[in-house]
Chain A
Amino acid sequence: MKKTLVLFAHPRFEDSRANATLIDRLFSKSHITLHDLYETYPDFHINVRKEQKLLEEHDIIIWHHPLYWYSSPAILKQWMDMVLEFNWAYGPEGNMLQGKTVFNVITTGGSREVYCSQGYNSYTINEFLRPFEQTANLCGMHYLPPFAVMGTHKLSEEQLLDYANQYENLIDLLKGDFDATGLSNCFFLNDLELIKNPNS
């Protein structure tokens, strides 16, 4: 069974309805390590060795965070800056992340419609996430399209629960001997029928 590491970054988790619902399901699962970055490193003093060891122990890495100003909250950038070291994650001898799967799970206040060339945000979510995609590429990881929960301000409880179920489906699917490369061909992982309605 593949092991999944959720790197969760929310500076104000106590007031986030959407993320509370999404995360809630993950606590009970044994193959998932939920790693709360803001709670572990309130002073941003990241323990690099510990983080690298965590990465080594897992096959699937999830960057789970709200999208702030078209990017991640500050601590996730700090985490990347510090943990993804030269000759460990990348560089001539940096192969520790080779072959692992990685993707973003994001929540946005704005709806899907505003994230396109005609919308007021001009670019798609996938375009905004390019830095993450390229980071994964440079480290030899397999990058998947994001799982995106959008327009959170207007989502009802039921809609949020639906998303939580899909997130759970996705994570359960990935733990098995499943070829994740097949998932690359979409905008969002939660667009796939496989994730939306696994039983159909």
Chain B
Amino acid sequence: MTGTLLFEAIVFLAGALICVSIAKRLGLSSVIGYLIAGVIIGPYVLGLIGEEGDDILHFAEFGVVVMLFLIGLEIEPKSFWNMRKSILGMGGIQVTATLVLTYLLFTILGYEWQVALVIAMAVSLSSTAIALQTIKEKGLMETTFGISSFSILLFQDIIVIVMLGALPLLSSQDPSNVSSNGHEATLIENLPIGLQTLAILASVVVIVLVGRYLIVPILRKVSKTGVRELLIAAAFLIVFSISYLMEFVGLSPALGAFLGGVVLSTSEFKHELESTLEPFKNLLLGLFFMAVGASINFIVIAESPFTIGGLLVLIITLKAAVLYITGRVFKLKLDQKLLLTLSLAQVGEFAFVLLSFAFQLEILAPEQMDVMLVITALSMSLTPILSLINERVILPKVGTKESIKRPMDHIAKSQKVILVGFGHFGSTVGRFMRSHGVEATILDIDSNRVDFLRKMGFEVYYGDATRQDLLESAGIAQAKMLICAIDNPAVNKEVALLVKEKYPHVELLVRAKNRYEAYELLNLGIENIYRETLDTSLSLASDALHKLGFRKYTLNRQVQNFITYDVESLKRLAKEPKRDENYIFKARQELEQQEKLLERDFKRGIVTYDKHWDGEHIRKSLEQND
């Protein structure tokens, strides 16, 4: 039933499409959809996918690598450094406590100490893929719970290296004989401990240096070619290279990818890379979840349903208890503690690696491995269901849900503004807003300018704002406002229109070159239009009149009057039907409109002075009455 690669692709894609859309329709996490799809197409239900599920699982783990790279992109080195306490503290407590308790539990259950230890290691690790995907999907990454989960998962990513290194010590077998596709002997394991540490540090340094001094310049060159697919190629090249380097040295590729992401998070290509990799990541992760679903061995379950059920409940309860206590130690609020407890209580994908390696080392018996693999897959599948119960049943009763947006914190932080175009016009807008503590997310297409401005401390990103995916990764979904300040009117209009159509919740403020551009924007239904020539020319005219002897305050008032009058006539004239789009006709039409404006001015006469504070006017009317 296995057929060709094409057939497999069709099975996976169709399974994903059907199950994920149903899950989403029911308001469930897409992770559940993927898992169920995996179970259905897997060997025990429809049997469309057989033993190759394991290979696919291995391949799909790359989705986790890409995800960690993307998460790294969102964490700047400074905030990463700020997280060190919670990574070491929370991660350390969680892993150590789970390890010790699980070890005790399995020793009591009568397992050999080596077996108990291997199982304890596997159990202490959670699933980065499931937990983070669920957290990101719900937009909880910025909450205390999100950060705590992430810290713990990151610590696990680091500690898994130590665990893999320690496994051969538990085996009576000579580790050098072991080589398999599950876990190959790597560079680092043959080194003494001191050198191992050095090798780890060296690879981190390599990633940082290569990221800063090789990748960023290359990306700049690539961006100048203007060929979009080259950037996709470059993005994958980066992730593949990092993974390769990490596997070569013997570190977790996910960890390496995360570091690479952190290094590139301060570069101007952050958003471009994000929007490029995001769809691939989601598909790969989907594949990963489906492979997990397909790997649930229902025959093993059928053989000893009570053992497996019992162990599953015990393990999840134990992990949950440890997580709850960890949350308590770090003084999380109740709702955050509950979220943390349930979202990390599963046995993660690292267990697959650890268990199969231990099996090769002959620490685990085949039955023991099968049982543990089933428990791992089941616990991962249960996570979204447990989170759902927590969310729908428990949390509403707790009722201290931390709101993600804290508007009183700081206006600048909670109200997202996107500024598109950072030329002479946009930069003035950006500078003025920045001087009020409002840091706009800036998009610009000129990579030289982007680079220069970044050195000046602005948060500027490179990219073409007419692309919806770039706007997405710039965070338009959460944005309150978007300012279009692009020099090229056609591009400016395109962006404005795109935002107006796709993101009606975003307040749109648009620059217009002149009144004719303003007409077009008005006709597109855009309300906040700023003609770059209006205020400046009036300010010049006002100064000119002042130098001829007019009083400043009166001029000031008349400038305001004129703007009101001109905006009115702009709106009126914009409504007149266009005769032709032809350039010649357009020019002629502009002349006609100029003529109309002047005619109207003439009818308005020399500024119709109001009578405010005009003593002479009162005196004259009093004289007439006398």
Residues of chain A touching chain B, judged by Cβ–Cβ distance below 8 Å, are 10-18, 38-40, 42-43, 66, 68, 73, 107, 109, 152-154
Cross-chain contact of A39 among B553, B614, B623 (Cβ < 8 A) = B553
**Contacts A12-B613, A43-B556 known; 10 new A-B pairs at CB < 8 A:** A11-B554, A12-B614, A14-B551, A15-B617, A17-B619, A39-B551, A42-B553, A68-B613, A107-B615, A153-B615
A-side contacts of B229, CB under 8 Å = none
Expressed in whole angstroms, the Cα–Cα distance for A73 and B556 within the complex equals 16
How close is A52's CB to chain B, nearest CB, in angstroms? 22
How close is B169's CB to chain A, nearest CB, in angstroms? 74
Cross-chain contact of A15 among B555, B556, B614, B623 (Cβ < 8 A) = B614
Per-position contact with A for B535-564: 1 when CB-CB < 8 Å, else 0?
000000000000000111111100000000
Query: Is B616 an interface residue when CB atoms closer than 8 A count as contact?
Result: yes
Most buried by B among A14, A40, A43: A14
The answer to whether B555 touches A42 (Cβ under 8 A) is yes
Query: Is B612 an interface residue when CB atoms closer than 8 A count as contact?
Result: yes
B-side contacts of A12, CB under 8 Å = 551, 554, 612-615
The answer to whether A39 touches B615 (Cβ under 8 A) is no
The answer to whether B615 touches A14 (Cβ under 8 A) is no
Cross-chain contact of A17 among B553, B556, B613, B616 (Cβ < 8 A) = B616
Within 8 A of A (CB), among B603-623: 612-619, 622-623
Cross-chain contact of B622 among A14, A39, A153 (Cβ < 8 A) = A153
How close is A156's CB to chain B, nearest CB, in angstroms? 12
How close is A152's CB to chain B, nearest CB, in angstroms? 7
Closest to B556 in A: A42
B-side contacts of A73, CB under 8 Å = 613
Per-position contact with A for B335-362: 1 when CB-CB < 8 Å, else 0?
0000000000000000000000000000
The answer to whether A16 touches B553 (Cβ under 8 A) is no
Cross-chain contact of A18 among B553, B556, B615 (Cβ < 8 A) = B615
How close is B608's CB to chain A, nearest CB, in angstroms? 15
Assess A153 versus B618: contact at CB under 8 Å? Given A11-B553, A14-B551: yes
Expressed in whole angstroms, the Cα–Cα distance for A40 and B553 within the complex equals 8
A-side contacts of B619, CB under 8 Å = 17, 109, 152-154
Q: Which 3 A-B pairs have the closest CB atoms?
A: A42-B552, A42-B556, A12-B613
Cross-chain contact of B554 among A14, A40, A107 (Cβ < 8 A) = A14
The answer to whether B614 touches A109 (Cβ under 8 A) is no
The answer to whether B615 touches A17 (Cβ under 8 A) is yes
How close is B625's CB to chain A, nearest CB, in angstroms? 11
The answer to whether A109 touches B618 (Cβ under 8 A) is yes
13 residue pairs A–B, Cβ–Cβ below 8 Å? A10-B613, A14-B550, A15-B615, A16-B615, A16-B616, A17-B619, A39-B553, A40-B552, A42-B553, A42-B555, A42-B556, A109-B615, A154-B619
B-side contacts of A66, CB under 8 Å = 613, 615
A-side contacts of B615, CB under 8 Å = 12, 15-18, 66, 107, 109, 152-153
Expressed in whole angstroms, the Cα–Cα distance for A12 and B550 within the complex equals 11
Closest to B615 in A: A16
Within 8 A of A (CB), among B40-62: none
Most buried by A among B551, B614, B618, B619: B551
A-side contacts of B554, CB under 8 Å = 11-12, 14
Closest to B616 in A: A15
A-side contacts of B617, CB under 8 Å = 15
Expressed in whole angstroms, the Cα–Cα distance for A13 and B613 within the complex equals 9
B-side contacts of A10, CB under 8 Å = 613
How close is B374's CB to chain A, nearest CB, in angstroms? 74
Most buried by B among A38, A73, A152: A38
Expressed in whole angstroms, the Cα–Cα distance for A109 and B613 within the complex equals 11
Expressed in whole angstroms, the Cα–Cα distance for A20 and B556 within the complex equals 21
Closest to A16 in B: B615
Expressed in whole angstroms, the Cα–Cα distance for A156 and B615 within the complex equals 14
Closest to B626 in A: A154
A-side contacts of B622, CB under 8 Å = 153-154
Within 8 A of A (CB), among B431-489: none
How close is A75's CB to chain B, nearest CB, in angstroms? 8
Per-position contact with A for B510-534: 1 when CB-CB < 8 Å, else 0?
0000000000000000000000000
How close is B521's CB to chain A, nearest CB, in angstroms? 28
